[in-house]
Amino acid sequence: MAGTARNQGRLEILHGGVWGTVCDDYISTSGTRQTNFVSVACGELGFSAAGSALTSGFPDGVDPTWMDDLDCAGTESRLASCPFRGWGMENCSHVEDIGLSCTP
């Protein structure tokens, strides 16, 4: 994550050797989709599955937006296993980059 603490900041994902961001579509509002997303993302990063999604408080990304319209069930071990539009298929600007705050 790109942030001021190791457990919070803008979420970035490595695809094809290039770092990129994740769009907040589907996951920016509270509810089951956000809870499931946070569980998978924080878990993949080695943190407790608890935490919250952040839509502000960190700089916008400059790299490609790799993931959009994520719809995790909450049982996946990796974000790449969640249904999403496809690598690099997105309709987002970097003001929609999603961040995380995970419980250490």
- pLDDT digit string (tens) for 38-77? 999 999 999 976 788 887 778 888 899 999 999 999 999 9
Q: Which two tokens stand for residue 40?
A: 């998978």
Residues in a beta bridge with 25: none
Segment 7-33, tens digit of pLDDT: 888 999 999 999 999 998 888 677 888
Domain residue ranges of the chain, discontinuous segments joined by +: 2-101
Q: Which two tokens stand for residue 73?
A: 């069930």
Query: What global pTM score does this model have?
Result: 0.85
Confidence at residue 3, expressed as pLDDT on a 0 to 100 scale:
60
Confidence at residue 2, expressed as pLDDT on a 0 to 100 scale:
60
Confidence at residue 55, expressed as pLDDT on a 0 to 100 scale:
78
CB 22 within 8 A of CB 70: yes
| In CATH, 2-101 is 3.10.250.10 | yes
Tokens 């961040």, residue? 99
